[in-house]
Amino acid sequence: PISVLITAGPTHEPIDPVRYLSNRSSGKMGYALAEAAVRRGAKVVLVSGPTALQPPPAAETVFVQTAQKMRTAVLDRWEQATFIIMAAAVADYHVAQISEQKIKRGGPLTLQLESNPDILADLGSLREASGKSSPVLIGFAAETENLLDNARGKLTRKRVDAIVVNDVSLAGIGFDSDRNEVTIITATDV
């Protein structure tokens, strides 16, 4: 059977024991894709960041919190996949120094942020280095401006087969919605 690896939800990057950096992703897109793939008979591995959603019972689900944990889960499984759909909204940054204790309120606070790994770009590089054309790599781009140009750039830089781009600044679609409106960019569209 076809094997589909899907990422979903946000990641939570700790600041201290009670706070984290994240984004508005609900995970609905990734979970819906996992459900659709299961219904079509695929063997599905769902790597999920923190959400309130219930995964499809037939999917193997790996729950993670951080971008680094998601990266590890994906890279441990990527070679077995026929398709990889990176629908998760992985946090772009993590805090350089996580406080071991709760940070108390008391004036301005500056956090030093460092870039998280780019899991999709890592997959594109690994696939290219393997000399194989599989798995098929599909990424997502939540954008607020220059949607098509940004998606085309992402497609090329990350060496993937398709980018699903949506305008998250539009009300009623995208984040926390059961509706979405996307454009799919492939190499023939660049």
Please give the positions annotated as active site.
Answer: 23
DSSP 54: P
Collect all residues with Cβ–Cβ distance below 8 Å to 33 and sequence separation of at least 6.
6, 8, 85, 87
Which class for 89: exposed (0-12), middle (13-18), buried (19 or more C-beta within 10 A)? buried
Token output for 4: 């589909």
Instruction: Round to the nearest angstrom and report the end-to-end CA distance of the chain.
Output: 31
